[in-house]
Amino acid sequence: MSIDHDIERRAVALDALDSILPFDRRDQLAALLTDDDVATLKHLASEGMGDNTLRALASDLGYLETWCQLATGSPLPWPAPESLLLKFVAHHLFDPGKRADDPSHGMPAEVEEGLRARRLLRANGPHAPDTVRRRLTSWSILTRWRGLTGTFDGPSLKSALRLAVRASARPRQRKSKKAVTGDVLAKLLQACAGERSIDLRDRALLLIAFASGGRRRSEVAALRVEDLTDEDPVQADPLDPDSPLLPCLSIRLGRTKTTTSDDDEHVLLIGRPVMALKGWLGEASINEGPVFRRIDQWGNINRRALTPQSVNLILKSRCKQAGLEPTQFSAHGLRSGYLTEAANRGIPLPEAMQQSLHKSVTQAARYYNNAERKQDRAARLIT
């Protein structure tokens, strides 16, 4: 049986995961994964694993299969021997100073070139420790789901990982260098102030993503009409019964990154975001299915939902049009920007967390602490 036929057969099998894996990504994964890998992913989907988790597992599995083939000349073994796990750590977390003097230190050049050629590697230098840990976790999960026992909890791997993280000396990178606060959002909205379908969509997308508590790009892309519920109008000022009424809408988020399968989270939208959303849905005649959809260069609205990556690209495109530096912003800037703006406006942290659905007070409080420190006198001893 030809290799091309095998790839085509796996691509067809991955079509069953249409709602989870974007079409172009399925074709790529079909070339990277084995038949057993595809069967495992379909089994996990049937078991009710969350879409975001399954999407990350599929991506990590494709990377691991390719890395192993390039690094060892053989497919990924199940279970993986401890020596292979240690090799993975050594290839991805290394001392950049030593690498400059010794090219053989870290990931071999031919492995790196192979990963870049397949568009699986973009960063230079050692990987982010969180990325390495996540891929090892995915590897461990997939091993357990195959009914096998790995050595992921072994002392050798833990020690190697700890030492490698220290040697790589890579500072923690923010997901978005700058937050999309209220002033930045205003510039982005001005950049899509037209009445074309793409302007209506992007305006609604930005307002919804921000006003709903800074939703993750995956949550924005996954939003469906069936998740929207009209609520009774509310007062513009809760303390003034004579203030004008504003439209209100609830968004059901269901399972998110920080919730369990039993949770049924929802957030409220009030006023301008609701009007923008309904304006887009009306223009696009969308009554069911994905809320935010692809639009081709001729303005035709596709039935397929945007991918999480598309949400990120839309934000960067609007940043460029607004005269902002796109490399300084990512979709996560909407999430950090929401909490930063809430802090700037004096909204209590618990109230903001009800909308953002942050589970960790410590994590959410970072944005508040940064905002408050800018008001401190301690930083103004010499000005």
Per domain, the residue ranges of the chain are 50-167, 182-373
Task: Report pLDDT for 2.
Answer: 55
Q: Report the range of poorest mean pLDDT among 77-91, 256-270, 342-356.
A: 256-270
Is the CB of residue 251 less than 8 Å from the CB of residue 267?
Answer: yes
Overall average pLDDT of the 307-322 stretch: 93
Task: Report pLDDT for 32.
Answer: 65
Overall average pLDDT of the 242-254 stretch: 89
Query: Average pLDDT over the chain, rounded to whole?
Result: 82
Q: In what order do the strands lie in the sheet with 228-235?
A: 228-235, 245-254, 265-270
Task: Report pLDDT for 261.
Answer: 45
Q: Report the range of poorest mean pLDDT among 8-12, 183-187, 303-307, 345-349.
A: 8-12
pLDDT in tens, 32-62: 677 777 677 777 776 666 667 777 888 888 8
Token representation of residue 13: 């099998």
Q: How confident is the model at residue 346 (pLDDT cuts 50, 70, 90)?
A: confident
C-alpha closest to that of 94 among 170, 152, 172, 151? 170
Q: CA 181 to CA 121: how far, in whole Å?
A: 31
Q: CA 267 to CA 370: how far, in whole Å?
A: 25
Overall average pLDDT of the 10-36 stretch: 55
Task: Report pLDDT for 84.
Answer: 93
Q: Which residue, chain included where needed, has tokens 């993986």?
A: 80
Task: Report pLDDT for 131.
Answer: 87
Task: Report pLDDT for 23.
Answer: 44
Range among 68-72, 104-108, 339-343 rated most confident = 68-72
Task: Report pLDDT for 7.
Answer: 52
Is the CB of residue 335 less than 8 Å from the CB of residue 218?
Answer: no
Q: CB-based contacts of 104: which residues, under 8 Å, 6+ apart?
A: none
Task: Report pLDDT for 16.
Answer: 46
C-alpha closest to that of 338 among 203, 202, 210? 210
Overall average pLDDT of the 344-373 stretch: 78
Protein fold of 182-373: hpI Integrase; Chain A (1.10.443)
More confident residue, 55 or 171: 55
Q: Which residue, chain included where needed, has tokens 């990277």?
A: 32
Token representation of residue 34: 């084995």
Residue 321 has pLDDT above 90, yes or no: yes
More confident residue, 366 or 323: 323
Residue 356 has pLDDT above 70, yes or no: yes
